[in-house]
Amino acid sequence: DVKVTQSSRYLVKRTGEKVFLECVQDMDHENMFWYRQDPGLGLRLIYFSYDVKMKEKGDIPEGYSVSREKKERFSLILESASTNQTSMYLCASSFYRGWGTDTQYFGPGTRLTVL
Amino acid sequence: AQKITQTQPGMFVQEKEAVTLDCTYDTSDQSYGLFWYKQPSSGEMIFLIYQGSYDEQNATEGRYSLNFQKARKSANLVISASQLGDSAMYFCALETGANNLFFGTGTRLTVIP
């Protein structure tokens, strides 16, 4: 079974703090993704990566950065957390098949609250 | 631009009945795929079913089937014999050649005993 894990289920941080969200997958997937989920807006892509040290901006990258030093690990970084970054963050991974994306498998999510 | 629309914010269904969740999409790409995911209250997104744009037959996975009408650009999810454990949010998603998914806003399904 595909396993995608995220470092925390719940996280509370203060405005201005630097926040790290970690995601690890054990299926040797090339692609990894970070989404945020807000009520009424569905899931929106923040960043994705199709290889180690590679990253691509998604629809809403402002205020975020990412790091992928190892194939199995993809980190989302909030350089200076703000209250409008309070959200559910979901990590996903998939195989790369040359076109489009194979089925994405998701982690359990991290609910981040910024005070 | 890619777009996914789920017009039903909430749906109710009686246990053991069938239910259809609507999804329409808009893309200018000829090759694309459509996914349905389930998100229970625990938060994890669970993959349910996939339909490729060139697949001639509707996809089925157990109690889930995808009613794909290409000309209408619709990809509705049909859940047969609903169970209490089917109560969850359901998301439709569109993928094109851009290596990512575009999600709809979701439909909350409640199964009534």
> Which pLDDT tens digit goes with each residue over A46-74?
999 988 989 999 989 999 999 999 999 99
Out of B43, B99, B105, the one facing A42 most closely (by C-beta) is: B105
Per the structure block, which two tokens stand in for A70? Answer: 């190892």
Q: Does B48 touch chain A (CB under 8 A)?
A: no
Top-ranked range on mean pLDDT: pick from A51-55, B51-55, B87-91: B87-91
Interchain CB distance below 8 Å, B105 and A45: no
Nearest Cα residue to A69 out of A36, A101, A24: A24
Between CA A65 and CA A55 the distance in angstroms is 9
Closest-approach residue (CA) in chain A for B90:
A42
Q: What is the 3-state secondary structure (H, E, C) of chain B?
A: CCEEECCCCEEEEECCCCEEECCEEECCCCCCEEEEEEECCCCCCEEEEEEECCCCCCCEECCEEEEEECCCCEEEEEECCCCHHHCEEEEEEEECCCCCEEECCCEEEEEEC
Share of chain B above pLDDT 90, in %: 77
Closest-approach residue (CA) in chain B for A41:
B105
Judged by average pLDDT, the poorest of A1-10, A56-65, A70-79, A106-115 is: A1-10
Q: Tell me, what's the pLDDT at A108?
A: 93
- List chain A residues with CB under 8 Å of B43: 9, 88, 90, 108-109, 111
Between CA A9 and CA A107 the distance in angstroms is 10
Write the pLDDT tens digit of every residue in A94-103: 887 666 557 8
Between CA A55 and CA A74 the distance in angstroms is 10
Average pLDDT over residues A76-88: 97
Q: Measured on CA atoms in the order A114, A91, B42, B64, is the torsion positive or negative?
A: positive
pLDDT beyond 90 at B29: no
Q: One-letter amino acid identity for B101? A: L
Closest-approach residue (CA) in chain B for A104:
B47
Tokens 């205020």 locate to: A63
Q: Does B35 touch chain A (CB under 8 A)?
A: yes
- List chain B residues with CB under 8 Å of A43: 45, 91, 93, 101, 103
Q: Does B90 touch chain A (CB under 8 A)?
A: no
Residues of A with CB under 8 A from a CB of B: 9, 31, 33, 35, 40-45, 48, 50, 56, 58, 88, 90, 92, 96, 99-101, 103-109, 111
Distance of CA A16 to the CA centre of its chain: 20
Q: Tell me, what's the pLDDT at A37?
A: 95
Residue B86 backbone phi and psi in degrees, to 5: -80, -10
Between CA A93 and CA A70 the distance in angstroms is 13
Tokens 């017009």 locate to: B7
Interchain CB distance below 8 Å, A106 and B33: no
